[in-house]
Amino acid sequence: MLKNIAAVCLLAFAITPALAQGEKPEKVLKIISSLPRTGSANAQTTTMVNGIQLAIDEVNGKVGDYTIVYEDMDDASPQRGNWDPAVEAQNANKAARDESVIAYIGTFNSGASKISMPVLNKAGLLMISPAATYPGLTKPGKGEANEPKIYRPTGKINFFRVVPADDLQGFVAAEWAKDMGVKKVYILDDRELYGKGIANVFENHAKELGIEVLGREGIDPKASNFKSLATKIKAAAPDMVYFGGTTQNSAGQIAKDLHTANATPKFMVPDGCFEKAFIEAAGAENVNGSAYITFGGLPADKLTGRGAEFRANYKKKYNLKENEEPEGYAVYGYEACKVLLDAIPKAKTKDRAGILQAVSETKNYNGALGIWSFDENGDTTNTTMSGNTVENGEFKFVKALGK
């Protein structure tokens, strides 16, 4: 029995890292990002973290007299392989308690935002998301009746996003489809918050535009292939297939199976697939000239001004080859951090409240994604979307889309 007690104590203390809290140096501002770093989302979040890191390195980790400290936190756990509510809540609570933290960049999944938003709202901590695009997080009337009130217990807005929400992207995607002369569309989604939401918006607007919706299916993103679905779609003979979902949820496999079955001439996906990995997963020959990708901003090589600077710096820092471009998500991560860093000098007091105030007053910000402001809900006013296709295994910009 004594041995057991000893084992218990040992266990309890083994997992208690006796980290003596070091002397807090003055004038440190801490930025935390909470993104899923374990599991399949790792590919996208790595580029986001690279973007964040670049923004900090560009100012040499200093704003005025303040040293910027950045911590890349993981909101996924190995046993889940995906974002974990427990870990996300843990991260948010940790950030809220640590007085030196002035901003929380995240989350990647909108579901995770729902958990951390009320916590950080009460802590008065600024939250900038590079990827959570569920409209109900910020926009009244777009989600449930009680949204977004429930995420703002104090009534103040602390959640901002540099990416346009899904209600915009699904909307312009439908318009673009109409422009391309699509008359009949088949819609798929990955049955996750992002993919399903964007497919819903697409479906509604497509119907308004008079595009016939032949069918709507939710897929199992883990299925080994979608050949039987491709057959079903082929029999329905649509002009285009729209898939609301991400690369990690089998967008590549779907493109491949649709192409192999000769099921559709056009395949459209949202920005969750605007990454090189999508083309690599699908195989260039399956998406060349047939895949259409919408993205909330311009692709890196079309950026001008600060965007072009970002592109050059990013390519240099991460040793990209001449023909390689920063991933779509990198610029979101970069912009989220950059808008924060640029707001710090304007803050009257360099604490949470001051910096939150300064960021919320961002107007006509000249950033990598263009010139934009945060609106009254905390959303970006940037409505520039781009339509892209694939040519020779590379993304090719087709045109700017907008409301």
Partner 1 sequence: MIVSQAAVSESVAPVAMGWGDVLSQQLITGVSNGMIIAMIAIGYTMVYGIIELINFAHGDLCTLGSFLALTLVGALGMEAWAGMGGTAAVVTLLISSAVFCGALNWTIDRVAYRPLRGKPKLALLVSAIGCSFILVNIALFWGGLPMEVFGGGNQAAAPKDFPSLISNENLLGAKSAITVTWRDLFVVIVTVPLMIGLTWLVKSTRLGKAMRAVAQNPTAAALMGIDVNRVIGSTFLIGGALGGFASVIYALYNNTISFQMGYRTGMDAFTAAVLGGIGSLPGAVVGGIVIGLVRALSDGYIEARWTNSVVFGILILTLVFRPSGILGAKLREKV
Partner 2 sequence: MSAAPMWKKLLRVDVALLILACLLPVVDQRWHLDMVDPMRGVMVFAILALGLNIVTGFTGLLHLGMAAFMAIGAYAFAISSCDIYPFQLNFWWAILFTAIVGAFAGVLLGAPTLGLRGDYLAIVTLGFGEITQDVLKNLDVITKGTQGINPLPSPHVPWWTATGFGMLEFTSEQELPWYWLFLGFVVVAVVVCRNLERSRTGRSWLAVREDELAARCMGIAPVPVKMIAFATGAALAAVSGGLWVSMYSSTGEPGNYDFQVSILALCIVIVGGMGSINGVLIGSIAMLGIANIALPKIASVMQSAGWVNSGSVFGSPNNWKYLVFGLVLVVMMRVRPDGLLPAKLSIVNAKKKNAVEPAP
Candidates 74-82, 235-243, 293-301, 361-369; binding stretch for partner 2 (CB under 8 A): 74-82
**Which residue in the set 51, 136, 270, 367 belongs to the binding site for partner 2 (CB under 8 A)?**
136
Q: Note whether 250 binds partner 1 by CB under 8 A.
A: yes
What is d(CA 327, CA 311) in angstroms, rounded to the nearest whole number? 10
Report, in Å, the least distance between residue 286 CB and partner 1: 8
Under the binding rule (CB under 8 A), the answer on residue 162 touching partner 2 is no
Q: What is the enclosing helix (H) or strand (E) of 188? A: strand 184-189
Minimum distance, C-beta of residue 250 to partner 1, in the bound complex (Å): 7
Q: Does 231 bind partner 1 (CB under 8 A)?
A: yes
Opening angle at CA 162, ends 316 and 135, nearest 5:
145
Instruction: Kindly write down the DSSP assignment for every residue of 245-275, as one continuous string.
Output: S-GGGTHHHHHHHHHHTT--SEEEE-GGG-S
User: Rounded to an integer, what distance in angstroms lies between the CA atom of residue 310 and that of residue 335?
Assistant: 9
Which one of residues 63, 103, 115, 277 is an interface residue with partner 2 (CB under 8 A)?
A: 115
CB of 216 to partner 1, least distance (A): 9
209 to 228, contacts with partner 1 by CB under 8 A? 217-220, 222-228
Asked if 325 touches partner 2 (CB under 8 A), the answer is no
**How many positions of this chain bind partner 1 (CB under 8 A)?**
52
Q: What is the full DSSP assignment across 317-345?
A: HTT--TT----HHHHHHHHHHHHHHHHGG
Considering only residues 109, 247, 382, 389, which one is a binding residue for partner 1 as defined by CB under 8 A?
Answer: 247
Q: Which helix (H) or strand (E) holds 394?
A: strand 394-401
Within its chain, how far is the Cα of 215 from the centroid?
28
301 binds partner 2 (CB under 8 A): no
Q: Contact between 157 and partner 2 (CB under 8 A)?
A: no
Please state, in angstroms and rounded to a whole number, the distance separating the CA atoms of residues 168 and 403. 8
Stretch that binds partner 2, among 5-13, 287-295, 380-388, 395-403 (CB under 8 A): 5-13
**For residues 92 and 33, is the Cβ–Cβ distance under 8 A?**
no
Asked if 184 touches partner 1 (CB under 8 A), the answer is no
For partner 1, the closer of residues 250 and 386 by Cβ is 250
77 binding partner 1? (CB under 8 A) = no
Q: Is 400 in the site for partner 2 (CB under 8 A)?
A: no
Evaluate whether 273 touches 244 at the Cβ level (below 8 Å).
no
Q: Does 204 bind partner 1 (CB under 8 A)?
A: no
Identify whether 270 is preceded by a cis peptide bond (ω within 30 of 0): no
Tokens read off for 83: 């974002």
CB closer to partner 2, 49 vs 177: 49
HSE-CB at 77 with a 13 A cutoff on CA atoms is 10
Contact 143/134 with Cβ under 8 angstroms?
yes
Q: What distance in Å separates the CA atoms of residue 128 and residue 141, rounded to the nearest whole number? A: 21
Nearest alpha-carbon partner for 170 in 192, 140, 200: 200
Residues in contact with partner 1 by CB under 8 A are 39-43, 46, 78, 81, 191, 217-220, 222-229, 231-232, 234-235, 237, 247-248, 250, 252-253, 256, 259-265, 275-277, 280-283, 285-286, 288-290, 392
Residues in contact with partner 2 by CB under 8 A are 1-2, 4-5, 7-9, 11-12, 15-21, 37-38, 42, 46, 49-50, 53, 71-74, 76-82, 84-87, 89-90, 92-94, 96-97, 111-112, 114-115, 118-119, 122-123, 134, 136, 143-146, 150, 153, 191-193, 196, 218, 318
